[in-house]
Structure 1
Amino acid sequence: MSGMRYGQVPLRSSSQILNALKRLGVQEGSARSTSHRFLYRELPDGRKVSNPLPMGKREVPRGTLRNILETLEIPLEDFLRELR
């Protein structure tokens, strides 16, 4: 990591996070509820990982974002580059 810590990451909405993750190749599964979206990603070794994203949030907590990125194995720097 280039020195950026999750505590320094600006809070973003669910839709902003979803759009950035999609640009990184994360797929959106079928919507089973309106409160969460099921996200998944196939890793280079063939494993599929998944994580829910709470929807309708103006600000997704940093701990939730950290868990999503760690589960989907997406480096923080890559995510921040795609966040607009």
Structure 2
Amino acid sequence: MNRTILATVIVLSTLGLAACGNSSGERALSGAGIGAGVGLVGGALVGAPVTGAAIGAAAGAGTGALTDKDQIDLGKPIWK
């Protein structure tokens, strides 16, 4: 699978996690998923997809946990 197809599949898959949620835990979870997907794509482009995914997940989870509903509110999570 070439990198363009892989990147497209990953980005489209993470769009399902785009709803941030109401609690800081829900935002941390969805932020980690989105960050991991974006980090995986970025890491794959430079040859380190696992490292990119780990960094992206940590950054996304931290951002989600440190924000409140008024700062980031993309709607109701798909798991509710």
TM-score normalised to structure 2 length: 0.29
Higher alpha-carbon Rg: 2
Structure number having the greater strand percentage: 1
Q: Which has the larger helix fraction?
A: 2
TM-score, with normalisation over the residues of structure 1? 0.28
